[in-house]
Amino acid sequence: MTKLPYLPETPSQTAGPYVHIGLTPNALGNAGIYPQDLGISPIRDGAKGERITIRGTVTDGAGMILRDALIETWQADAEGLYPAPNEARGQADPNVTGWARVIADFDSGQWTLNTIKPGSVPHTSGGTMAPHISLWVVARGVNIGLQTRIYFEDELAANKKCPILARIEHKDRMRTLLAKKTGNGEYWFEVKLQGEDETIFFDL
Amino acid sequence: MADAPVRGPLVARDRLWHPPAYAPGYKTSVTRAPSRALVAAPSTLSEETGPAFGQDMLGELDNNLILNFTGQPAIGERIIMHGRVQDDQGRPVPGALLEIWQANAGGRYRHKKDGYAAPLDPNFGGCGRTVTNAEGRYEFLTIRPGAYPWPNGPNDWRPMHIHISVFGSGFGQRLITQMYFEGDPLIARCPIVNTIKDGSAIEQLVAPLDMSAAIPMDCLAYRFDITLRGRRQTFFENRPEGL
Ligand SMILES: [Fe+3]
């Protein structure tokens, strides 16, 4: 057998039904191990930008709402800078951590993300990505974490120019990536794992 | 952080190496697998960046599952789980956040939805976390988890396993997997293991017994190295931007 010129990535396995034991033990009720869960908010007091609340659900192909889903979110600050050690363009807002873990409510399955609306981010090969929040969704029955993005339906002009949205062949599916505005600073976003109106998932 | 930040586009995932979303042997995947093709494109800044994790956020016992719940020792066979997080070129990945969770020695999870007959261990919480050091190394002290039955086929059992979440330098490297134990006859029978098609990919998840790291009269050790998605190029802070 010839040796590969690279090491293969460690293969994924499902997060299973008990992912909260490991990633959000305090939210589960297993307090006492860590003072607080990681990723409790993507922002701190004083974060610049428009405060928004996004609510939603994760549903399966049978239309059932998942109560065991865990979503991680990653976003830029209001200027479009990432609060990351490898952000080369400048210093992001110190009150934006950019990363959060949001879990489906154990009873209703609804999740809530309180954050600021991110700015546009340049695309490496030209163009500008419209304001978006990257999502990574895991749950029992999900064999490899699913990547998707929340875009905003009220960012029409920016969405039209986004090079990632431009890659979507079936334009009628694009709406599955748009958070619906339900009020002042309030949005609704459903992740549909399968079936009609299945959310667009990325391999980026 | 002392280490120079790592940049550059992420290498595309080999989707045939990973389990497919739809794997009917694992019944829950049937209604939870997207049926449309993924929209694939080169990574962007949104996948290439990620938050910083430092040793300073860790508590003293965070990687010690034997003691971190009550301070009194958990019941079970004492083991060290250790290894190295590396990229596709074998270079160490420092500053990676590793979080693990597992059943207790009897195969029972500390979770309101787990009603298995094996009792809870009052001194076992079942989770731990650490951050890799400059050489990409990590270590946990824990107990060997028990196998447990689960509703799938008529008599399916999970092999002994430890769930592990890995967060490298980019959000697009995000990974959750499970570590299995060398020699466990339940591995080959497990529908979740067998969502992975390639036998050598499964082998990557089976940690060998590592007597060189075992502590005499104290604990055995298992070695589990983790490889993350690589980057096509590495830029260092003191180099000019661009190609
Ligand atoms: Fe498990």
Around Cβ B163, how many Cβ atoms within 10 Å?
26
pLDDT tens column, B70-94? 999 999 999 999 999 999 999 999 9
Q: What is the CATH number of domain A19-26+37-192?
A: 2.60.130.10
Question: Using the beta-carbon criterion (under 8 Å), do A145 and B165 form an inter-chain contact?
Answer: no
Per DSSP, the three-state class of A26 is helix
Q: How far is CA B1 from CA A90, A186, B4, B198, in A?
A: 17, 37, 8, 38
Using a CB-CB cut-off of 8 Å, the residues of chain B touching A7 are 86-90, 227
CA A187, A191, A192, A197 torsion-angle sign = positive
Q: How far is CA B111 from CA A22, A106, B106, in A?
A: 11, 12, 14
Tell me how many residue pairs between chain A and chain B have CB atoms under 8 A apart: 278
Question: Using the beta-carbon criterion (under 8 Å), do A9 and B241 form an inter-chain contact?
Answer: no
| Position B3 confidence tier, pLDDT thresholds 50, 70, 90 | low
Identify the structural domains of chain B with CATH numbers, from first to last.
Answer: 29-227 (2.60.130.10)
Average pLDDT in the B178-195 region?
98
Using a CB-CB cut-off of 8 Å, the residues of chain A touching B193 are 13
> Ligand 1 centroid to B217 CA: how many Å?
29
Substitution target in A12, A73, A192 with the highest count of B β-carbons within 10 Å is: A12
pLDDT tens column, A70-113? 999 999 999 999 999 999 999 999 999 999 999 999 999 999 99
Average pLDDT in the A29-39 region?
96
Would you list the domain boundaries of chain A? 19-26+37-192
Give A120's contacts (C-beta < 8 A, 6+ positions apart).
A80, A128, A129, A130, A131, A158
**Structural Rg of chain B based on CA atoms:** 19
Q: What is the ipTM of this complex?
A: 0.97
**SS3 readout for A109-171:** CCEEEEEECCCCEECCCCCEECCCEEEEEECCCCCCCEEEEEEECCCHHHHHHCCCHHHCCCH
Residue A152 main-chain phi, psi, to 5 deg: -120, 130
Q: B40, B50, B38: which is closest to B7 by C-alpha?
A: B50
Give the Cα separation of A157 and A150 in Å (integer): 16
Q: Is B18 a catalytic residue?
A: no
Q: Is B148 a catalytic residue?
A: yes
